[in-house]
Amino acid sequence: MKYQASKNRYNEMKYSKCGESGLKLPMISFGLWHNFGSNADYNNMKELCFTAFDNGITHFDLANNYGPVPGSAEENFGRILRDDLATYRDELLISTKAGYKMWEGPYGDFGSRKYILASLDQSLKRMGLEYVDIFYHHRMDPDTPLEESMMALDTAVKSGKALYAGISNYNGETMEKAAAILNELKCPFVINQNRYSIFDRTIENNGLKRAAKENGKGIIAFSPLAQGTLTDKYLSGIPDDSRIKVDGRFLKQDILTEKKLEQIRRLNNIALNRGQTLAQMALSWVLKDSEVTSVLIGASKPSQIIENVGIVHKIGFTDEELMMIDEISAN
């Protein structure tokens, strides 16, 4: 039976303006970094997308190199779009990126105009789209003039192949320079995508969080659960189906020291006292300030999406809770 979206999909989710733009993002967005590659189960991919959309998650975030193999996440999502979600295209916010290695040779990586625009064309072909809603430059490139990379984003928007421009993994200083260039070009640059979690405060330390607010740009946070360590998954050991054992590319077993596990246990106690799971509290913490527009979640099971959506009515923290979280994470 062909998929039909829930009629109640907009009843619970909350949406926030992305910086000073008119674009609204759901509080929770769905990232396809993991579990959408060529080695993943296609039927499960569909159920993940359907569950997300049925719960008001309108934003689906990809990149050219998501897989494995690179490009396969876009291909699989494109198939789901074509077969099941095409009717809802105007309700969906679809983003992709270019910046990491995608093909061999000097033109398949980083930030040259040739690479960025060629990559976008490839991404659109893989997903079967005429345009994406947000197109990001995925990382800073020390060997390409910033003006060149930003002008490539401007071309992507003005050619109609993207509606908005974004940057990812930029620090505050470079983000401000990028904003100045794109503002002068009258290019709708609206969003920064960066890692942010209780355990990773980089955007606070490198000036990005401050600069985004001062320049009227949104932030969407990835890895809010610190690759799964900010969940109750590892409180009693390492499960056989955990990312550490199944994949191991991004989360190594040696990170789960006794000290780290003790931090996780203490944070879990705070979450339980709040009436949340640790994962829910970690997501709520990222969204506690207005600077962060949306938080990106990944999932291997539909039930994880449903659990995470449960945060929409419990974002606030007491001063005591915030102090305790800071004290635990600082150690």
pLDDT at res. 234 = 86
Tell me whether residue 61 is annotated as binding. Answer: yes
For tokens 């100045």, the residue is 180
Tell me whether residue 308 is annotated as binding. Answer: yes
pLDDT at res. 257 = 87
DSSP collapsed to 3 states, 273-310: HHCCCHHHHHHHHHCCCCCEEEEEECCCCHHHHHHHHH
As beta bridge partners, residue 164 has 134
Tell me whether residue 37 is annotated as binding. Answer: no
Tell me whether residue 326 is annotated as binding. Answer: no
Tell me whether residue 285 is annotated as binding. Answer: no
Structural class in CATH, domain 15-233+241-256+279-317: alpha beta
Tell me whether residue 154 is annotated as binding. Answer: no
Q: What is the spatial distance between Cα 63 and Cα 94, in angstroms, rounded to a whole number?
A: 10
pLDDT at res. 254 = 72
pLDDT at res. 1 = 81
Q: What is the spatial distance between Cα 267 and Cα 186, in angstroms, rounded to a whole number?
A: 44
pLDDT at res. 177 = 98
How many angstroms from the chain centroid is the CA of residue 183? 24
Tell me whether residue 300 is annotated as binding. Answer: yes
pLDDT at res. 236 = 75
pLDDT at res. 248 = 56
User: Residue 49 corresponds to which tokens in the numbers above?
Assistant: 């997308």
pLDDT at res. 247 = 58
CB burial of 53-80 (b: ≥16 within 10 Å; e: otherwise) equals bbbbbbbbbbbbbbbeebbbbbbbbbbb
Low-confidence residues in the chain, pLDDT < 70: 237-253, 331
CA-closest candidate to residue 20, choices 221, 294, 222, 213? 213
The DSSP letter of residue 91 is G
Tell me whether residue 173 is annotated as binding. Answer: no
Q: What is the spatial distance between Cα 295 and Cα 284, in angstroms, rounded to a whole number?
A: 9
Tell me whether residue 33 is annotated as binding. Answer: yes
CA-closest candidate to residue 15, choices 312, 275, 265? 312
The structure's pTM equals 0.94
Averaged pLDDT of the chain: 95
Q: What is the spatial distance between Cα 67 and Cα 39, in angstroms, rounded to a whole number?
A: 8
